[in-house]
Amino acid sequence: MMSMMKHRSPHHTNNGHTSYDSSAEKSSNDCNFHSSGSSPRNEKCRSAANNTNNSATRNGRDLVVFGISATLLFLVVLPTVIMTIGQHFAPTIISSSTRALGPGNTNFILRSPRTAPFSPLPATLQKNRTVYIGRRDFSTLALLFKAQGWTRVEQMEDARVVYFSQRPIPEPALRPYQRYSRLPPSHEFPNKKRMFEGLQDWSDAAGQPLWFVPETFRLTDSQSSKNNQPLMEMFRKRLYEQGGLDQTWVLKNAALDNGEGITFLPAQSHALKNVQEAMDNSTAKCVEKNPTALQYQSCSTQFVVQRYVDNLLTWFDGEKFDLRFYWFVASIDPWIVYSHDGFARVSAQKHFDATDWSTPQNHLTVHSGSALQNVTHEFIWQRVRAFATKHNVTTRPAMDPVEHVRNQIKHILSSVVAAMRYKLTTRQNGKNENDKSDEHPNNFALFGVDLMLDQNLDVYLIEVQHAPDMGMYDSYRAKMAQQVLSPILGMVEEIQNKQELDPSANLYPLDANVGLYEVITAGDWRYTYRGYRRQEQNQPLQAQARSILSTT
């Protein structure tokens, strides 16, 4: 009705009523009834009819093309779309060996590879949360574990969990059902030389770059039984032929920590040009403090020399600082490892000058160095964000600067874990015959790691600490210890309970309160910071480091 009304022209009749012109309809009717003959009217009607037929033919072809297109869309495109949507939403069982997809996927499954049952807890321990704590660890751990419902026992055999940082495993030997706080290769990685060798071995085997390791050489003093000449020649070549004399280096006794055995080698200094003498002096000082030190290897004749990390990010008033973060191995059967934000150790010396070597102690950020203030991770992130905003620091990939730094740290820690796992599967010599930790699969362990941060927000690994000091000396340390230590036994307990009921039980995610811990390794999956690119001028010279570290 409406379409016909559009073709009518309204006009008014004499009686005042409105009517519509129907001449178009009349002409059409005339052609319908007078289309024969040769009159002009008939020719006009035949022309109109031809036009109508041509239009109908074109419309018919269009309908056919449309029908074919619609059929192809239905048969080809639509099923593809439906299949894509189905793949997106359909549940997928993901094994722990799938590296592209990890614990972030809700269907991630993590099981022990073993088929034999785990050793069951005795009936007397099944309902008791008992822990044996070594002497060194007693004060802090006993207090925090008690707050979580654990009872400290005097005899090791009465405990379901043994927390003991000394080595080797003391007698009597561990029971097969006990969870024990020591990782087999953990005594090797706190040794700086062995740590970098372990990282390099894994890097060579796995093809993974060590962008987070400062350029590193390993050396020995003149008293070492190992031939030092090839190692020293490599370092001298770096100094005298490749511009190393114009850079600052740090000489470290491989077996010492907490600022002991550190010698700074400023650019063009006498100490740098006579590094052999510097090593001999370092060993002599260590032995002077403890005449039996060499016998027990607490004063090593092994050293590493590292490129000094310059262009450091400093604290709000220009103080030098470093980072102490944590990682917790909750299980090695299968591997489940978590990282935890830590704290910054901030020097009391304001307006730090990296070129001023008049007081070398100002370059240390350990408690044996200059007076320190310690601040928790919340203030670290405030400093990072404030610096990035003020100086318009661009991260690669582009993201929040705090997450950029945290992602690097998680990548570094997961790499250290991977290197330790590689070491565990390949090591053959150097094991203490009294250390039975390799024979005990129920291990867990807490580690610390020291890191440094430069003004490009690039993070560097300095060293690893096994059984880091968690003494609650002040309110800051009490808060840090509570955050780091309180969740760990609950995590170990849940894994133990699940595996005792079913050795193939899915262990992820844990129902226990993990606090601020974040998973970085689960089975064969490990966290990697994808898309990260380091500033070219700050990339360690890994080609040189690789050839040097692999030299025997």
What contacts 24+ positions apart, CB below 8 Å, involve 432-438? Answer: 432/167, 432/168, 434/168, 434/169, 435/167, 435/168, 435/169, 435/184, 436/168, 436/169, 436/173, 436/174, 437/167, 437/168, 437/169, 437/180, 437/182, 437/183, 437/184, 438/184
Rounded Cα gap, residues 377 and 323, in angstroms: 9
Is 275 a domain residue? yes
Q: Which pLDDT belongs to residue 516?
A: 95
Q: How many domains does the chain have?
A: 2
Residue spans of the chain under pLDDT 50: 1-53, 56-57, 63-65, 68, 70-101, 171, 225, 293, 295-296, 367-371, 428-430, 432, 434, 436-438, 537-552
Domain limit, last residue, from 292, 308, 324: 308
Identify the residue whose tokens are 């430069």.
Answer: 454
H/E stretch holding 374 reads strand 372-376
Residue 184, judged by CB atoms within 10 A of its CB (0-12, 13-18, 19+), counts as: buried
Encoding tokens for residue 361?
A: 């102690």
pLDDT of residue 465: 86
Q: Is the pTM of this model over 0.85?
A: no
CATH number assigned to the domain comprising residue 237: 3.30.1490.20
Of 257, 291, 308, the one marking the end of a domain is: 308
Whether 269 maps to a domain, the answer reads: yes
Q: How far apart are CA 129 and CA 207, in angstroms?
A: 43
Q: Domain of 294? A: 215-308
Q: Is residue 250 part of a domain?
A: yes
3-state SS string for 217-280? EEEECCCCCCCCHHHHHHHHHHHHHCCHHHCCEEEEECCCCCCCCEEEECCCCHHHHCHHHHHH
Give the DSSP per-residue string, 276-332.
Answer: HHHHHHHHHHHHHH-TTTTTTTSS-SEEEEEE---SB---TTS--EEEEEEEEEEEE
Q: What is the pLDDT of residue 219?
A: 84
User: Is 133 among the domain residues?
Assistant: no
pLDDT of residue 298: 56
Cα angle for residues 351, 355, 357 (degrees, 5° grid): 95
Q: Which of 39, 56, 73 is the last residue of a domain?
A: 56
Residue 529 lies in a domain: no
Neighbours of 56 (CB within 10 A): 10
DSSP for 60-108, written as a single string: HHHHHHHHHHHHHIIIIIHHHHHHHHHHHHS---B-TT-SSS-TTSTTB
pLDDT of residue 36: 36
Is the residue at 180 inside a domain? no
The answer to whether position 301 is within a domain reads yes
- pLDDT at 388 (0 to 100): 97
- The Cα 156–Cα 164 span in angstroms is 10
Q: Which pLDDT belongs to residue 170? A: 57
Angle at Cα 423 formed by Cα 344 and Cα 172, nearest 5°? 90
Q: Which of 550, 542, 521, 529 is nearest to 213 (CA)?
A: 542
